[in-house]
Amino acid sequence: MASHSASHPHDPVQRAFGGGFGAFLAAAMRSPRDVGTLLPSGPALARRLAAVVPDASEAGRPQVVVELGAGTGAVTATIARAVDHDAVVIAVEKDPGLADRLRSRGLGVRVVTADAVTLSNILADNGVDRADVIISVLPWTLFDPQQQREFLAVFAAALATDGVFTAAAYSLSYWMPAAHRFRHELGRVFGEVLPTRTLWRHLPPAMTYVCRRPGAAGKGLTADPSR
């Protein structure tokens, strides 16, 4: 598969982030509230997020995997490697420059330039009605309470009943009110919310929430192994 990393063979930073580091940094300076960090996700976080992708599609039905906030593809490339050969992977990115950059990497995924809140339309435009896996790399702590609630309602509605939603979170933001609110909302929307351990060597340290049973009466977070 073509990748921009090939055009930066001697630059470890470019290589680690798929060659999109400059474009990512520029987008972060342009729209700090949308991008939420100066660094794209590292390989360890990408692997942690993509770990929820099932080994194989159910017989007779290609799996549908959606990534929200795909940026320049730091996580997308790992997802593309993890999925079954017939899977439909839809990478959603709001910033047109980042989406174009990702599209040009030729990772074999469908790149959609759109706001993640329009997910039901995005699925319909791609001929599918439900996602089996939704992987969020959105900056949740920068969203206001209403946005958090609206986004999670949209994503839960788009998920298959036996599907999985996972979201990256920065561990150093754990005590921020917006992070607390996000965990509370996850517990309201999903019947099962499992936090994973912090990747302390990741810059910045990060963890994920793995959520199942959309729409089931949530009992809140299960015991938090990440702390």
Ligand X SMILES: C[S@@+](CC[C@H](N)C(=O)[O-])C[C@H]1O[C@@H](n2cnc3c(N)ncnc32)[C@H](O)[C@@H]1O
91 to 120: interface string for ligand X, x by CB under 6 A: -xxxx--x----------------xxx---
* Nearer to ligand X among residue 95 and residue 185 (C-beta): 95
Q: Is 74 a binder of ligand X (CB under 6 A)?
A: yes
Q: Is 139 a binder of ligand X (CB under 6 A)?
A: yes
Q: Is 182 a binder of ligand X (CB under 6 A)?
A: no
5 to 44: interface string for ligand X, x by CB under 6 A: -----------------------------xxxx--xx---
Minimal distance, residue 224 CB to ligand X, in Å:
22
Minimal distance, residue 104 CB to ligand X, in Å:
15
Among 70, 80, 119, 194, binds ligand X (CB under 6 A): 70
Q: What is the 3-state secondary structure (H, E, C) of the chain?
A: CCCHHHHCCCCHHHHHCCCCHHHHHHHHHHCHHHHCCCCCCCHHHHHHHHCCCCCCCCCCCCCEEEEECCCCCCCHHHHHHHCCCCCEEEEEECCHHHHHHHHCCCCCCEEEECCHHHHHHHHHHCCCCCEEEEEECCCHHHCCHHHHHHHHHHHHHHEEEEEEEEEEEEHHHCCCHHHHHHHHHHHHHEEEEEECCCECCCCCCEEEEEEEEECCCCCCCCCCCCC
Given the rule CB under 6 A, which residues bind ligand X? 34-37, 40-41, 68-71, 74-75, 92-95, 98, 115-117, 137-139
